[in-house]
Amino acid sequence: MLGEKYFELDMSYWGRSRRLVIQILCIWALVAYGLPALVLETNKMNYLGFPLGYYTCAQVIPLFFGALLLIFNHVQEGIEADQMDGKPMVEAASSAALNAVLMKVYVAYTGGFVSFVLFLGFLEAVGVPDQAIGILFVIFTLGMYAAIGIASRTSKSDDFYVAGRNVPPIFNGMATAADWMSGASFVGMAGTLYALGYDGLAYITGWTGGYVLVSTVIAPYLRRFGSFTVPEFIASRYQGTVQLPGGKVVEMSGFARFLATIVLLSCSFTYLTAQVFSTGVIVSRFIGIQFEVAVFSGLIGVLFCSLLGGMRAVTYTQVAQYVILIIAYTVPAICMSTTQDDGFNKNNPVEFLVYGGTLQAIALREKEMVLLGLASKVTPYLEPKWRRVDFFALTFCLMVGTASLPHVLMRYFTTPSVRSARRSVTWSLGFILVLYMTAPAYAAFAKLEVYTNVIGQPLSVLPQWVFTYGKIGLTSVCGKAVTSVNEAVEACAQATGGDYLLRLKDLKISKDAMVIATPEIAGLPYTIAGLVSAGGLAASLSTADGLLLAISNALSHDIYFRLIDDKASIQKRLLISRVLLVVIALMAAGTAASKPADILSMVAWAFSLAASGNFPALVLGIWWRRTNAQGAIAGIICGWGLTLTYLLGTVYGGWELWGGISNVAAAVFGLPVGFAANIIVSLLTSPPPDNVLAMVDSLRDFKVTGEDLTAEELEDIKEKEEALARTQVLQVSNTAEATAEATAELTI
């Protein structure tokens, strides 16, 4: 009988869904960590000229994650169909109609942008100055984003906070991809691969693998809950009371909300600073203004979109930005790919199939430079230099951080249904893979160009891009940012520039310059370089949009409305949110102007802060009924606090690294502490209130929540929000009274 009962429970909706998630995550972990562990052995084998270990981590593993999500969606939707007696779930007609309209609009938009690029190419051919073309690119893209913000302006709270919850999955996937592929991905990823070689693939594996966690563990449940922000979910999930020594009973959901907002601010502001920094790099290069001025100038397009239309304007702007950034990233790679002839490929435009011969040429050139005396020692590009524990620690932190970033999770609040949220995650990863599959090829092509055509050349024939980027501090020769041949000769302490051959150690290129400089390094037309600048600007601004909204919404909604003035009108709250947008943007620009670190490092810090602060509370809140407010608060304070302490101590306090683990993987310490503190404190204190347990059950049980809700079936967001606020106040009051009575009885 007991076995039959267990079997029956296991075949319930929640039992089958849970078993599927466990199976998917086991396969995910085996591939994500098992294959990279074998890289030294598999690199000895070749496939189309590629060392198999390198190619597996660069191309095969990310593609496998995408296939895994497709399988998960198919099986999960089958489980849900069984709950509906085999009847398919139909999306709202309005969502399908909107999808058709958006498809026509963005196809026309893409055609218009391509025509604009071709027109600028014509201008270059007839002799228009390069700087004028760069200015046209920047002004056109910023103006277009501002125009979308104006066209999408709104005063409705549902549009401002969650884009009306009716964004079709494919377009939400594009918007998420643009939101995700920040300056770190567009500007920093290829540069990091250029500098680190194989070790840089930890970023690709971590950032793509994280979307498996998003889809299976968190996003669908947050969408089913239907909140505006991540702190709102945490406050609702972690209700409960505690009696102070004086006898006063205190509700803890407000404190949990406050801590979740602090975590959001810490990771989002760090991430935002990185985006503003990359914007400054691009604008200063292509308009020719000072970096500090460029940082503030780049905020104009961001503020137009965020101020006027909130999430609605940001969503449609991000779709437009994705189109630009992916064209800008792939076109130079395709141009360079068609010039390759490695014995396996000739004039092949599919860049991720072509660069195997380039990798072999890099390995040969590394040995040649040592033999010619151009380098005393060269670290092999294709072999791991880090300890395996360092590679896996960073990969793990990036994966978990991906599933914890508030501005990414917010995107899945905008879909029409839970099923749409899952599909959106898969679309997101698919669109992201277009860039991440290209980045290793981009880095390899640039590496070979520099090794072949710059290293070993006399100072007198150094290419102009070395001096162009020296003006903004992104390149240096012999330890000095030079702007002319004479300065290079002086920096290298030479009498003339004709005899001295540039050595490998003499040339330093910032990782943040590599992508925008590669078209010039490869000798491509300047229009392509301007296109790349427009793409980098799109990547940075799209992420800055999402981050600014996440921060301002959390402050206006979770702090001001929920904790300070719960009677504030919608208009007042939107006004406060817009004021905060401006203040936060200016603070981020001021911080970025001080150039605190390279872009990718700042972003990795944000991932560690989000992972240690949010992930334990989110995962345990969904998957473990017993976790309570005391445990969540303890977990956030201990996990996030330890990660922040390690970051500050190693970056600014002169601390030694613990176990040699870099601070970009700081969450490897804070995350397990956060989980342990949450679990231990929860077990030592009283269980959550009944209304919270009922809420957790509603997240898990398809029958409890009814059919997958569509946008047409949702109530007006304003009314729902006010009703939710009144309900939570009533629940808090009832819970406090019940707890006080129970405490009194125990005392008696």
13 inside domain: no
Let me know if residue 684 belongs to a domain.
Answer: yes
The burial of 248, by beta-carbon neighbours within 10 Å (0-12 exposed, 13-18 middle, 19 or more buried), is given as: exposed
41-55, 492-506, 659-673, 713-727: which is most confident: 659-673
Work out the average pLDDT over 85-90.
58
If you average pLDDT over residues 239-253, what whole number do you get? 80
What is residue 93's predicted lDDT score, i.e. its pLDDT? 52
Q: What percent of the chain has pLDDT over 90?
A: 34
Total residue length of the chain? 748
Distances in Å between the Cα of 7 and the Cα atoms of 2, 4, 293, 700 are 9, 5, 66, 18
Contacts from 80-84 at CB under 8 Å and sequence distance 24+?
Answer: 80/13, 80/419, 80/702, 80/708, 83/13, 83/702, 83/703, 84/707
- Please check the confidence at residue 706 and state whether its pLDDT lies above 60: no
Domain membership flag for residue 339: yes
Looking at residue 57, its pLDDT comes to: 93
737 lies in which domain range? 710-747
> Which pLDDT score is estimated for 344?
64
- Residue range 163-211, pLDDT digits in tens: 677 888 999 999 999 888 776 678 778 888 998 999 999 999 999 999 9
User: Is the Cβ–Cβ distance between 616 and 635 less than 8 Å?
Assistant: yes
Q: What is the pLDDT of residues 7-48, one digit of tens each?
A: 444 567 888 899 999 999 999 999 999 999 999 889 888 877
Question: 537 and 663 share a domain?
Answer: yes
Is residue 705 in some structural domain?
A: no
Task: Flag whether pLDDT at 609 surpasses 50.
Answer: yes
* Of residues 737 and 271, more confidently modeled: 271
Q: Is the dihedral of CA 85, 91, 93, 96 positive or negative?
A: negative
> Does a structural domain hold residue 3?
no
The CATH number assigned to the domain holding 519 equals 1.20.1730.10
- The pLDDT score that the predictor gives to residue 187 is 75
Give tens-digit pLDDT for 346-367: 777 888 788 888 888 899 999 9
462 located within any domain: no
Look at residue 623 and tell me whether its pLDDT is greater than 90: yes
Q: What integer pLDDT is reported at residue 35 of this predicted model?
A: 93
- Whole-number Å distance between alpha carbons of 99 and 110: 16
Is residue 718 located within the same domain as residue 665? no
Query: Does 321 have pLDDT greater than 60?
Result: yes
Write the DSSP assignment of 352-382 as a string of letters.
GGTTHHHHHHHHHHHHHHHHTTS-S----TT
Quick one: 718 and 695 in the same domain?
no
The confidence score (pLDDT) of residue 657 equals 92
Q: Give residue 403's pLDDT.
A: 93
Q: Are residues 587 and 734 in the same domain?
A: no
Residue 438 has pLDDT above 70, yes or no: yes
Q: Given this model, what pLDDT does residue 215 score?
A: 95
On whether both 608 and 716 belong to a single domain, the answer is no
Q: Do residue 696 and residue 714 come from a single domain?
A: no
* More confident: 79 or 277: 79
Task: Answer with the residue of higher pLDDT: 251 or 108.
Answer: 108
pLDDT of residue 306: 59
> Which of 252-267 are b and which e, b meaning 16 or more Cβ less than 10 Å from the residue's Cβ?
bbbbbbbbbbbbbbbb
Please indicate, yes or no, if residue 421 is contained in any of the structural domains.
yes
What is the residue-wise DSSP string for 109-165? HHHHHHHHHHHHHHHHHTT--HHHHHHHHHHHHHHHHHHHHHHT----HHHHHHGGG
Residue 746 is predicted with a pLDDT of 34
What digits encode the pLDDT tens for the residues 42-73? 988 887 778 899 999 999 999 999 999 999 99
- Among 241, 190, 222, residue whose Cα is nearest residue 522: 190
Both 214 and 271 in one domain: the answer is yes
Q: Judge whether 280 and 592 are in contact, CB under 8 Å.
A: yes
Residues 417 and 312 in one domain: yes
Give me the residues paired with residue 458 across strands: 501
The answer to whether residues 58 and 205 belong to one domain is: yes
Mean pLDDT of 607-618: 94
Per-residue model confidence as pLDDT tens digits over 207-232? 999 999 999 999 999 888 877 788 88
Each residue's pLDDT tens digit, 530-562: 888 888 878 877 777 777 777 877 787 777 777
Q: What is the pLDDT of residues 365-414, one digit of tens each?
A: 999 999 999 988 888 888 899 999 999 999 999 999 999 988 888 888 88
What would the mean pLDDT of 659-677 be, rounded to a whole number?
94
The answer for residues whose C-beta is within 8 angstroms of residue 414's C-beta and 6 or more apart is: 162, 163, 164, 165, 166, 167, 172, 311, 315
Which pLDDT score, from 0 to 100, does residue 498 have?
Answer: 66
Same domain, 163 and 98: yes
CB atoms within 10 A of CB 702: 19
Give ∠ CA 314-316-317 in degrees, rounded to 5. 60
Q: Per-residue pLDDT for 611 more than 90?
A: yes
Among the listed ranges 204-208, 238-242, 618-622, which one has the minimum average pLDDT value? 238-242
Residue 552, domain member (yes or no): yes
At 613 the pLDDT is 94
- Least confident range from 495-509, 575-589, 591-605, 661-675: namely 591-605
Asked if 691 and 714 sit in the same domain, the reply is no
- Which residues are registered as beta bridge partners of 241? 251
Q: Residue 160: its pLDDT value, please? A: 66
Confidence (pLDDT) at 709: 42
**Domain total in the chain:** 2
Question: pLDDT: is 747 or 117 the higher one?
Answer: 117
- Helix 13-29, helix 2-10: angle, nearest 10: 70
pLDDT of 460 above 50: yes
Residue 234 has pLDDT above 90, yes or no: yes
Residue 735's pLDDT is: 37
Q: Roughly how many angstroms between the first and final C-alpha of the chain, as a whole number? A: 43
Query: Do both 629 and 734 map to the same domain?
Result: no
Q: Which two tokens stand for residue 507?
A: 């040339």
